[in-house]
């Protein structure tokens, strides 16, 4: 068993329920984690036997580029895309973090995490 994590994938995107979020966008970070059996990668030293970090970041960027009102929705899309790319490859965890959300008050970030 092992864990691969790609943390802090930075993306500028246009998610949110407010009209100004669609117009001006905002900063997001995405963390991706997958746990599973990586014994063949540990033995072979071959990229084909593991999960390509570059491909993870590309999938995140692609899905974050599709507007959603809710970060819950975009996180679920990212999770589905990761499963489609690597079916049967472990348990995935995706966290979408919205920096400086437009809330009535002062908050550094909001986040949503989905696992499956």
CA–CA gap between residue 116 and residue 113 (Å, rounded): 10
Q: Which pLDDT value is given to residue 89?
A: 84
Pick the CATH number of 2-115 from 3.40.50.300, 3.30.1130.10, 3.30.70.20, 2.30.33.40: 3.30.1130.10
User: For residues 52 and 105, is the Cβ–Cβ distance under 8 A?
Assistant: no
pTM of the model: 0.93
How much is the pLDDT for 45?
A: 97
- Which residues, other chains included, contact 40 with Cβ-Cβ below 8 Å and sequence gap of 6+? 49
Averaged pLDDT, groups of 10, the chain, 116 residues long: 97 92 93 96 96 97 97 98 93 97 88 97
Given this model, what pLDDT does residue 106 score?
Answer: 87
Residues in a beta bridge with 112 = 96
């Amino acid at each position: 068993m092992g864990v691969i994590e790609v943390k802090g994938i930075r993306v500028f995107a246009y998610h949110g329920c407010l009209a100004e979020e669609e117009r001006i966008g905002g900063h997001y970070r995405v963390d991706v984690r997958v746990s599973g059996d990586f014994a063949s990668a540990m033995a072979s030293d071959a990229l084909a036997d593991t999960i390509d970090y570059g491909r993870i970041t590309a999938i995140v960027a692609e899905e974050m580029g599709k507007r959603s009102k809710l970060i819950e929705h975009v996180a679920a899309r990212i999770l589905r895309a990761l499963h489609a790319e690597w079916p049967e490859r472990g348990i995935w965890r995706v966290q979408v973090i919205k920096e400086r959300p437009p809330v009535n008050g002062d908050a550094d970030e909001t986040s949503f995490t989905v696992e499956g």
